[in-house]
Chain A
Amino acid sequence: MYRRNAWILHAVLITTVVIVAFPILFAVIKATQTRVDVLSPSLIPGTQFVENVRNVFLNANLLVFMRNSFIAAVAVTVGKTTLSLMAGMALVYFRFPFKRVVFGLILLTLMIPIQVLVVPLFDVISLQPPQTFAEWWAWISRPDRILFQPAEYGFGWANTYAALIVPFLASATGTFLFRQHFMAIPSSLADAARIDGATPWQFLRRILIPMSWNTIGALAVIEFVYVWNQYLWPKVIIRREELQVVQVGLNLIIGTGEGVEWGYVMAGATLSLVPPLLVFMLLQEQFMRGFALSGGK
């Protein structure tokens, strides 16, 4: 390659790297500045980082928001990966009737993003369950009303962790990823395991899981980031500040009135980026091999 071209290439790449990083670096620098400097265009790092972090953590509840997000993200990541692994194993290593129908029904949910269901899901989650046996019996004995009339009862989970976790535990994407991965494992391996008398449980533990770390890691990245970054659903279903997640919490810190403490907000934005960034960096290799390289298929 000509020397001149190499310089142009470096120039373009450096420019892009700066554009990609600039708003985040801007937030990080602003998080270190004093109340006065924050409102100036100055990009000189200040000395107030610890002070801003302490304020946003304790006075603006960021610690609580991050804890809530962390609980939800870890629970969904572990639960979803486990359920997807189980479903994928059933679909590949067992013969049972209606297998294609079952797989089709799981795959079909890829087309139904949970956000379009925000209104009915709100009812299903937030309405109170039947309080007495008589109510319960009257409800269950009329399946036509359950199906074709607006829901009367729900789980009563408004303002709970369950509302942030349970609806997201099953995954078409995850099941599909594991199924594709298992199908690519030579069948001779499963045959050999069976001939040696391995039970399905032993096969799962000794062979399948050790061979699936890339897929598990990829799915963990996708799900952790997905839950950590969620905004719409928590905003709607969680109305108590001490249970709110970090993304909506940031907006609460900005608040509505004048006099926003932008130093705190930028410290909050910066800190909220750390957990998903760590997960991504730690599992980047697995993510690349288990998902990105296969084109997400």
Chain B
Amino acid sequence: MKDNAVFTSRVLPWVLLLPSFVILLVFIYYPALQAWVLSTYRSNLFLNTRNYVGLDNFRLMFTGPLADKYIQVIVQTFVYGALVVGLGLSIAMVVATLASQNVRGARIYRLLLIWPFALSPAVAGTIFLFMFNPDIGSVNQVLDALFGIKPRWLDTPLLAFSLVVLASVWKNLGYNMVFYLAALQNVPKELGEAAAIDGAGPIQRFFRITVPMLSPMTFFLLFTNLTFAFFESYGLIDIVTSGGPVGPPPADGAGLTTTMIYQVTLDGFGGSGNTGLAAALGNVILLFTILITLLQFRYGSRRVQYGDN
């Protein structure tokens, strides 16, 4: 790497860095430290009491009467995340590949596929809440007219969970499509043409050429979609199901659509106001996030390289 550092001022670089640094220190690093401090206290927001309890909050999450709830919440967050990532990325990859074919109107198709890029989780949730409302929602009115059924989308546990997954996958489609379509522009056309001449069918070309060529982008999207499932999905879930409904045993410790971050806000700002437990769960999520980021750096850098870059 050539050295670009041509300016010699001693003070100026620090002046340029100072604002960013102060903000990160005060609003990221200090709260991150405070998260560990708070997690060693048992507190009640409303009684305004606070006692030092060491690692008791962490112990409570994994053993004892509350463990069922917290382990369920952790497991279902990962199941939800896996579904959102798995379904979302495979659908987006197939459709983006089709839209990148030499087909008439490809530009228009691409534009029509990416325009909901900026869709928010809360708006996606609002629309789905209305569409799937068991009594007045259009989906049930159509289902009732056609088959005489009115599924209770919002209070049947598995249906509610599926609905949240469906809404999430749909919400992310535009976002994923933007990145896959951009990545596909960089795949040299000759590769596919050469493979076609050698007799590879379209499905073979997809799995042997497109999927490997897209793998760096897939790693990036894996990470952003998982971040969505862990954190940004909060707005969607809050609006559609408010974390409920409680599942059948053994998943009866918490609402089936309660993700880890949802549980954090329930503990931290909900009825119990137990900020210690909320901070402890926040730290557990943080550890998962760090683990996933490290995995991404580790495997994401193993890029598949063809062509001349």
Contacts and interface: CB of A to CB of B under 8 A. Distances in A.
B80 to A, nearest CB: 16
Main secondary structure of the interface of A (DSSP, over half): helix
Interface residues of B, number: 104
A86 B118 contact: no
Interface string B269-294: 10000010011001101100110010
Contacts of A228: 118, 120
A10 to B, nearest CB: 7
Place the interface of chain A in its size category.
35 or more
Interface in A220-260: 225, 228-229, 231-232, 235-236, 247-248, 250-251, 254
A91 B43 CA distance: 42
Contacts of A39: 136
A132 interface: no
Given A167-B23, A187-B3, A236-B269, A117 B123 contact: no
A131 interface: no
Interface stretch (A56-64, A121-129, A134-142): A121-129
B95 A13 contact: yes
Contact of B17 (A27, A41, A86, A279): A86
A193 B116 CA distance: 43
A124 B35 CA distance: 11
A150 B186 contact: no
B1 A269 contact: no
Interface of B: 1-10, 12-14, 16-17, 19-21, 23-24, 26-35, 37-38, 41, 43, 50, 95, 98-99, 101-104, 109, 112-113, 115-124, 126-131, 136, 138, 141-142, 145, 170, 173-174, 177-179, 182-183, 185-186, 202, 216-217, 220, 224, 227, 230-232, 234-235, 238-239, 261, 264-265, 268-269, 275, 278-279, 282-283, 285-286, 289-290, 293
8 contacts: A17-B112, A84-B20, A96-B10, A109-B29, A113-B230, A170-B21, A170-B27, A265-B130
